[in-house]
Amino acid sequence: MKLFLKISYLGTAYCGYQVQPNGISIQQKLNEAAEAVFGYPCDIVGCSRTDSGVHAKMFCATVAKKSCPDLQSNVPIEKIPLAFSAYLPPDIAVYDAAWVNDDFHARYDVIEKEYLYRFYNRFVRSPFEEGRSAHVPKPLSADDVVRMDAAARTLCGTHDFSAYMAQGSSVKNTVRTITDARVTREGDCVIFRVSADGFLYNMVRILAGTLLMVGQNKLSVDDVVRITESRDRSLAGSTMPACGLYLNRVKYPTR
């Protein structure tokens, strides 16, 4: 059996999820905590590879014993989150745990992910939003947000999203299916939410930059349709900072 974990974290202090030689990663901290909990090194497989500074409200991972997938523990499953909490820093938390079969894969079994991007839209920046949103000081009106939402909805469906992929990416299949995309205002924040069966490198941050241009009257809704159809990265908006991006939900066939 493998251990299935649901995790949330603030990515500000980390070089991303995956272990890197040049900084501290989320995976490294999970590896250290798992070894402390179980008493031996473990293999941890995550559902995604979030970049430096990106956050997660719901990140999923499996824990297995190295060289032997049958992980065993005397700790009751309902107490596993507390056990991990004793060895994790305060900006990483395990909030749920369950046993899954050995053939379950945290990354390849995902059928849908939802990301959200947060714009903090107020003239004066907030210290409480530092590292947790992208500051957009020029006010976005209700009509601006409506246009952003309309542009977001044109992204739904199965398309080649090459226009919203970071240049230099080696991915060959750039077709993805977006099941939901919308923009709303929540207080001082404008939130872009998008769900899909998969995402290209920097895709959500580029989409966010493109939709912001719609809100700023630099692009129209029809322009976004043309950009998507063009597959031309140079026509889309800039890549927004990582600090506003959150992995919000991960969906599996049976979870």
Instruction: Compute the distance between CA of residue 218 and CA of residue 145 in angstroms, rounded to an integer.
Output: 14
Please pick, among 51, 91, 96, 180, the residue that the annotation labels catalytic: 51
Asked about 70 being catalytic, the answer comes back as no
Burial of 214 (0-12, 13-18, 19+ CB in 10 A): buried
**Cα four-point dihedral sign 224, 213, 116, 240:** positive
Check if the beta carbon of residue 112 is closer than 8 Å to that of residue 21.
no
Instruction: Compute the distance between CA of residue 30 and CA of residue 7 in angstroms, rounded to an integer.
Output: 10
At 68, list the tokens: 């032997």
Check if the beta carbon of residue 199 is closer than 8 Å to that of residue 115.
yes
Residues designated catalytic? 51
